Structure 1
Amino acid sequence: MSKGKAHAALTIAGSDSGGGAGIQADLKTFSALGVFGTSAITAITAQNTQDVTAVEPISNEVVAAQIKAVLDDIRIHAVKIGMLGSPALIETVAQSLKDFDGPVVLDPVMLSKSGVALLPNDAVEALVSILVPRATVLTPNLPEAAKILGEDEARGDDAVLAQGHKILDLGAKAVVMKGGHAEGETCRDWLVTPEGATHLDAPRIETRNTHGTGCTLSSAIAAELAKGADLEAALTRAHGWLHGAIQAADQIDIGHGHGPVHHFHEVWT
């Protein structure tokens, strides 16, 4: 990088003590992609590769104070929003970002890899009404998209695209419908915008080490947007980079359950 200020991104999300998802995954992703990472922690979770055993929310006041402290001092080029635990916190985050004019990547975190609910039902409506219209891009997996819309999970490209367009109707400027939960040998992600839809395909990799893939993809998109890429270019780079991180996940052998992807697969040799 030539002399000058680094590109910086802010992640607003929960902490994963196991290091594979949440704030930890976001900061690793920012670093791996050449972006300075800052953070506002919304909750402390006790978790590892096998289970989430405790969740302790951070007070709304402290979350707001963290965001303010970062934005008051550091030029932030993109924001990624992850785990939010209540309607009041969703409102707090929206208010804290009201003057931020850069791209916002919203990852609607609802379930942990082990199946523990991370977003209460009463917060889904608040997420849809308050933050979805604020998002530059929303990055739900297929179960999350179905929950946002109150529908069954989409099966097949036509159904996925139909739900993507319905999410646009909720106010999002763009949506990435992540196909990791679908079946078949190919994993297909769709970028849906008012101008049309494009897809990115990758061979499905046989590995149990996929903890944090959603957090990692959304933060990778945010990192690329922070560096000035347009949305399609940001998704293309993030998609390819994440595929490499999943391919390399078995090399690091972390934990006894769903291990993390290898965020530094392009750095560690």
Structure 2
Amino acid sequence: MIPNVLSIAGTDPTSGAGIQADLKAMYALGAYGMSVITAVVAQNTQGVRRFVALEPDFVADQLDAVFEDVRVDAIKIGMIANVGIAEAIADRLHHHGLDCPIVLDPVMVAKSGDRLLSPEAVSVVRDKLLPMCTLLTPNLPEAGDLLQKPEPASLQEMHSTLKELCLLGPEWVLLKGGHLDGPDSVDLLQGQGQNHVFQSPRIPTRNTHGTGCSLSSAIAALLPGRSVPTAVGLGKEYLNGALAAADQLQIGLGQGPVHHFHALWPLK
């Protein structure tokens, strides 16, 4: 059975990140992707210009429309934008009592440095949404934001940060180490008494726009019927392939997107 996977996130007109990237990753991995929009974002490969958050009750209406009609096998939560939307998402998830994996990619700051989550909303995400999540997937700056401390600056600090993030309530945490220097990128996964390390060589490309969105959506698409470590491993394998093929695309003047359909489009 093809899994139905819902993304709750903001938009990207260039389709490299946000809802558009989420749907591409989900479809590339054989899931039926659905979307609930939290914010409309004016951005491109060079940065975010501005965004308009939707009314929380309208976000809630979108969620109800999906949950009352369609079987949902997994959920990915990305850009939340503000306190009202965070509370609306938590309320509707609790109301519908869904029994499916939830992946939270805490989108707080874009690669360009533009803030996408209001500071006052961080505590709502931490206190209300994290305990509902199957998997939390922060990068190092996001981990620092969630814990209200400086971001980890070494692999040793990543290990201690990972333990602190697990205490916030999610079943699993995947702490992504891409912001560290070195020839390899190291991600750490912890949950249910298990620890896993995912290490891969850095891929030399500037086209990294939307990598966090794409990875979390890939994992969500792969989670139905799989364990978290297995889904994470397969999701990272998919993203590595999308990064390796990213230079086949020529999108924008800044950090372009990864090639979501690298395994499906024929070479020319």
Alignment of 1:1-269 (within 5 A): 5-98=1-94, 99-226=97-224, 228-269=225-266
Q: Deviations over 1:32-89 (max 9, x none)?
A: 0000001100000011111211201111111111111111111110000000111121
Rounded to whole Å, the distance in 2 between the matches of 1:51 and 1:168 is 31
Rounded to whole Å, the distance in 2 between the matches of 1:64 and 1:155 is 38
Q: Deviations over 1:111-141 (max 9, x none)?
A: 1121110011111111101111111010000
Rounded to whole Å, the distance in 2 between the matches of 1:257 and 1:158 is 32
**TM-score w.r.t. length of structure 1:** 0.96
Q: Is the 8 A contact 2:83 2:118 kept in 1?
A: no
Q: Is the 8 A contact 1:60 1:88 kept in 2?
A: yes
Gaps of 5+ in 2: none
The amino acid that maps onto 1:72 is: E
The amino acid that maps onto 1:70 is: V
RMSD over aligned Cα, in angstroms? Answer: 0.9
Q: Is the 8 A contact 1:168 1:194 kept in 2?
A: no
**TM-score w.r.t. length of structure 2:** 0.96
Q: Deviations over 1:134-170 (max 9, x none)?
A: 1101000011101111121212222111111101111
Rounded to whole Å, the distance in 1 between the matches of 2:148 and 2:72 is 34
Aligned pairs, number:
264
Gaps of 5+ in 1: none
**What's the secondary structure of 2:11's corresponding residue?**
strand
